[in-house]
Amino acid sequence: MDSADSLVSVSVISSASYDGLYEKNKVLSIRRAISIENYLKEKYQLSDVFFDLKYFVQQREELAAKLNSDDYDILDSQDDWSRIEETALKDGRFCEVHMLFHRREKAEPPTSAAPLQELPLEIESSVSETDPANAPSAEKPEIRIALKNNLLYDGLAVANLGFEVSLGKHFSFNLPVTFSPYSLSQTWMLRTLTLQPDLRLWFSQSMQTGFFASLYGDFGWYDIALGGHTRYQNSGAWSNPAYGAGLGVGYNLNIGKKKKWGIEFEIGGGYLHYFSDCFYNIENGALFSDVQGDYWGINKLGINIVYYFK
């Protein structure tokens, strides 16, 4: 590129392939355009030149077919291209970058930094979503989905599975479920179905790692005997579960380089109301009493193995 004295504006058009997640490729395309703008401003002292950035997500063949570069002066210095490839395009795959330099007419000085020519923008994208007009702040937070298993319940032979989905950058919804329909013996049984939905606040920018706090509900149906003389069952069967709520804290730690696995530690305490029918702990034991009460204390505890789908 020759002297920059006659430049009025520079258009930087970058693209990324739509192979993979659209949002990630869009941000990659934006970063390419910004990287090239910063490089040209620094090397050629173009601080007073207007830069018009355009970025797309599509195949390079489609973008190249829409551009007619014959009307423009194109950057052709091999040193410049080598530097740009090392900085702006080092993470690229199937990338395309065009830089169009709009020059002043020699006869009259410019009155503003507006571009002299407009580049046609009729570029089709494989995604119907409209690209933002501004920089990466328009990026939507990535949705994360995870499944988890509580090792503490596994140790009690209680089947369990948890599901979690992100709600923006700092919140997520978590739903652990336990289910145990079997008895260990005639006098030992831990039959349960419990739900503990919770809303989590993450102090990091991802539900995948770091500390979190949670507000949760607690609902449980049970039929429990621990070898003594009494078997306890929630009164009214399905219509009257134990219920409560609480506050929890926890920490999530990634396992492995691919960040697909994690381990999560959580503890919570709060309130639980129960109403139990009491039966003799024998086969077809008769109902002889009932008991109800309110519990305050720890009612949530977990060491979870977590798998992240995305």
- The CA-based dihedral angle spanning residues 111, 114, 118, 123, taken in that order and rounded to the nearest 10 degrees: 180
User: Is 248 inside any structural domain?
Assistant: yes
Of 66-80, 151-165, 219-233, which gets the smallest average pLDDT?
Answer: 66-80
Q: Quick one: 161 and 262 in the same domain?
A: yes
Q: Is the pLDDT assigned to residue 268 strictly greater than 90?
A: yes
- Residue 78 pLDDT > 90, yes or no? no
d(CA 291, CA 301): 25
- 154 and 82 belong to one structural domain: no
Residue 185 belongs to what domain range?
A: 145-308
Longest CA pairwise span in the chain (Å): 106
The reported pLDDT for the residue numbered 194 is: 94
Residue 105 lies in a domain: yes
Number of domains the chain is built from: 2
Q: Are 41 and 187 members of one domain?
A: no
Asked if residue 36 and residue 69 are part of one domain, the reply reads: yes
The whole-angstrom separation of Cα 14 and Cα 35 is: 11
160 and 116 in a single domain? The answer is no
- Enter the pTM of the model: 0.53
The per-residue pLDDT of the chain, averaged, comes to: 76
Q: Are residues 280 and 156 in the same domain?
A: yes
Higher pLDDT, 206 or 87: 206
What are 125-136's pLDDT values in tens digits?
333 344 444 444
- Is 64 part of any domain? yes
Instruction: Give the CATH number of the domain where residue 278 resides.
Output: 2.40.160
